[in-house]
Copies of this chain bind each other. A is one copy, B any other.
């Protein structure tokens, strides 16, 4: 396969140069070679994310970062407020309660965005909230929440901001420091287009200070232990070195393309997907004003056989993603995270039109 025909929502299609890097031979994760790899990678990530915060590497998926956020940023008897507009916002709230913390939710219908007014109201009604969980891009509905306005309200209420940017980081601008995001995380298998197995997070001084007061943070996801090793350009346990090699190479390719060009490409390509689908008689599931630039969630007309369409597309080498959770049977999704170009989606849309 020469061209990316994977329109899934992660793991995304990884280009040859990055996969070639994954083949590198191993060395000790306590050696000076490793320190150099770690240091360089963090430097590139810092340049890319434009943050002064610490950047942690996790040997885990992004879900591990959620657990880390909860165990370090919410006291054992504390409460978080979870904004929810789909399956992944819901998951974040469940990880709060799964770790014995209390949660208040601020929910909207699937397809709608979480908005500042509602968050403001929820925070005003519930004094003592320690942190807010926000899903930047809700992958189940293809919606990008208005992060800037949500962060503004959270800052006014002086609560920690824990932002799931799993399917948006590297596909759209996220101004971590300007917005004051205390914990901002993603996995490398989404817009970074590196094979899965490595997650990254930015951690503010305020979040680290909070962790110092939280008991029972565990060991594996403990901020203070991660910080101690990160300051030495290491992680406390064995890192997923192949993914680190891959991400380092991928960041070089991203800088080559230009960060802004990359964001612009995602925006244009996703708009093309939505318009193409609408032209064929489909509709866009989420409120289009908030449609995500990294994936599209497309509703089908009543009686349309999604499975059959997917199978026919598969035969032609195009892999589209299924719907997720409670809208599984009425939607499909088209990812354009990472390396997907305008030509790729045009070719895919032509084939989709022939197939249906």
Contact = CB atoms under 8 A, between A and B. Distances in A.
Contacts of A222: 98
A179 to B, nearest CB: 26
B64 A60 contact: yes
Contact of A10 (B95, B215, B238): B238
A142 interface: no
A220 B240 CA distance: 17
A219 B98 contact: yes
A243 B67 CA distance: 23
Given A61-B237, A242-B195, A220 B26 contact: no
B23 A11 contact: no
Interface string A207-249: 0000000011111111000000000000011111111000000
Contacts of A8: 27-28
B19 A238 contact: no
A23 B242 CA distance: 10
A236 B222 CA distance: 21
Given A196-B240, A243-B240, A27 B218 contact: no
B66 A219 contact: yes
A240 B354 CA distance: 36
Interface string A18-30: 0110111111111
A99 B216 contact: yes
Contacts of A243: 197, 240, 242
B26 A238 contact: no
A134 B79 CA distance: 37
A56 to B, nearest CB: 14
Given A6-B27, A25-B1, A238 B99 contact: no
Copies per assembly: 2
Given A8-B28, A25-B13, A98 B187 contact: no
A75 interface: no
Given A1-B25, A12-B26, A242-B243, A98 B67 contact: no
Contacts of A216: 98-100
Contacts of A238: 10-11, 61-63, 187, 189, 196-197
A91 to B, nearest CB: 8
Interface in A6-46: 6, 8, 10-14, 19-20, 22-31
A215 B27 contact: no
Contacts of A220: 60, 63-64, 66-67, 95, 221
A306 interface: no
A30 B8 CA distance: 10
Given A11-B238, A59-B197, A238-B187, A27 B219 contact: no
Contact of A27 (B11, B95, B98): B11
A321 interface: yes
A292 interface: no
Contact of A14 (B13, B26, B195, B236): B26
A27 B184 CA distance: 26
Q: What are the 7 tightest A-B residue pairs by CB atom distance, in nearest-first order?
A: A197-B240, A11-B26, A63-B237, A100-B216, A61-B237, A98-B219, A61-B238
Interface of A: 1, 6, 8, 10-14, 19-20, 22-31, 59-64, 66-67, 71, 94-95, 98-100, 187, 189, 195-198, 215-222, 236-243, 319, 321-322
